[in-house]
Amino acid sequence: MDFHLTEEQKRLKKTVRDLAESEFRDKAHIWDQNDEFPRENVMKLAEMGLLGITIPKEYGGGGGTIFDVVLTIEELARVCRATSTILVTQVGDAEAIKEHGSDNLKEKYLPGMAKGEILSCITISEPQAGSDVTAMSTTAELDGDSYVLNGIKHFITNGDVADLYMVFVRYGKESSGAHGIGSILVDGGTPGLIVGKNDIMMGIRGAGHPEIIFENCRVPKENVLVQGDPSNNEGFKKILASFNSERCFNSANCLGIAQGAFDEALKYSQERETFGKKVSDYQGIQWMLADMAIKLEASRWLLYRAAVNGSEGHPELLEVSIAKTFANDMSLEVCNAAMQIHGGYGYCVEFPLERAWRDARAYSFGAGTPQIQRNMIAQQLLRGKLDVIRNR
């Protein structure tokens, strides 16, 4: 067992922290206040080789691991979630293309994704199918050399700026439940792909979350990523495995936000004076800081374990569900405490705490809510999986 980052991982973390502090910090609140997509940051991420961090070198990427992505998102999220979120959708789709795509699809999309010429989004949720993905009704019907897509997706992060949509569809209208579900890649601008109303969210602003409507949207059949078969759930099982990486990225966002909030609170507590003393001199405040640090460290190591193991394949469901549930709860608790330590100033929009608090709240919805994660943890425990992760 080795709890140390390698020299290369330390370098990556420092590079991303310097980038976030020097280039992204000053404008982070502007993207949030204007609800504006931080396009200049995307180009910076591409320039630094971070956008295609896990894309294989032969396709112009960095050839990095899931753990490298976690370290990168953690540092970006410490400062700007509109920016860290870009990486979640971009890497999430690149991983799926890497794993399931044909050579043609890899050739067609991965180099552009690494360069920032193709921005992608993950298109799964529907108004009637969120936690229960198997209730989805968007269909893909074969017609000649194309699939014709019909249905409505919603809450699609970066769906308003994306050039590429990785869409979960039901192959064959007659299928139900998990049977027939698979995925397909749809280029932005394809006739019949309509960007609908943008649902204005409380946090992670700067990333839009619109409806995506498919109306007889014709997609070449070469764009099938995972073929669903109405007679079984094999396609669905394949795409579910990719969710575990996304759960690591969601947790990394939580860890980064909480670390940023803690850093602000620690600093502020040593500056602010009441009754002739720094507030950090009061034991009540010191214990809050101590509890925040305990939660942060516990969350960090749960996540790092899942991500390091996941870098050798897919992260283990039990490990990553534990890490995500803890990170979701932890980030809310730490942001809340950081706001309290700031007193009334913490609630002011001029301070970064209220944005952190709003952003942290969002991560309890994506990639499986804490309730769904707890269901999955319990299922895994009942199948004896705890021994598997402890003894490997």
Ligand X SMILES: Cc1cc2nc3c(=O)[nH]c(=O)nc-3n(C[C@H](O)[C@H](O)[C@H](O)COP(=O)(O)OP(=O)(O)OC[C@H]3O[C@@H](n4cnc5c(N)ncnc54)[C@H](O)[C@@H]3O)c2cc1C
List residues binding ligand X (CB under 6 A): 121-125, 130-131, 155-157, 201, 204, 209, 362, 365-366, 369, 371-372, 375
Decide whether 254 or 279 has the Cβ nearer to ligand X: 254
Decide whether 73 or 122 has the Cβ nearer to ligand X: 122
C-beta separation of 262 from 292 below 8 A = yes
- Coil/strand/helix, residue 165: strand
Please give the residue whose beta carbon sits closest to ligand X in the complex: 130
Provide, rounded to whole angstroms, the least separation between the CB of residue 143 and ligand X: 25
C-beta atoms surrounding 268 within 10 Å:
20
CA distance 295 to 318: 19
Provide, rounded to whole angstroms, the least separation between the CB of residue 299 and ligand X: 20
Provide, rounded to whole angstroms, the least separation between the CB of residue 94 and ligand X: 15
C-beta atoms surrounding 53 within 10 Å:
25
C-beta separation of 74 from 5 below 8 A = no
Q: Which residues contact 24 (CB under 8 A, 6 or more apart)?
A: 38, 41, 44, 76, 79, 80, 83
Provide, rounded to whole angstroms, the least separation between the CB of residue 156 and ligand X: 5
Decide whether 53 or 88 has the Cβ nearer to ligand X: 88
Provide, rounded to whole angstroms, the least separation between the CB of residue 282 and ligand X: 36
Decide whether 274 or 371 has the Cβ nearer to ligand X: 371
Provide, rounded to whole angstroms, the least separation between the CB of residue 219 and ligand X: 18
Decide whether 122 or 258 has the Cβ nearer to ligand X: 122
Radius of gyration of the chain measured on its C-alpha atoms: 21
Q: Which residues contact 167 (CB under 8 A, 6 or more apart)?
A: 123, 124, 138, 149, 153, 183, 184, 185, 186, 212, 214
C-beta separation of 190 from 140 below 8 A = no
Rounded to the nearest 5 degrees, what angle is found at the Cα of 228, between the Cα atoms of 226 and 232? 130
Decide whether 110 or 204 has the Cβ nearer to ligand X: 204
Provide, rounded to whole angstroms, the least separation between the CB of residue 302 and ligand X: 20
Decide whether 125 or 245 has the Cβ nearer to ligand X: 125
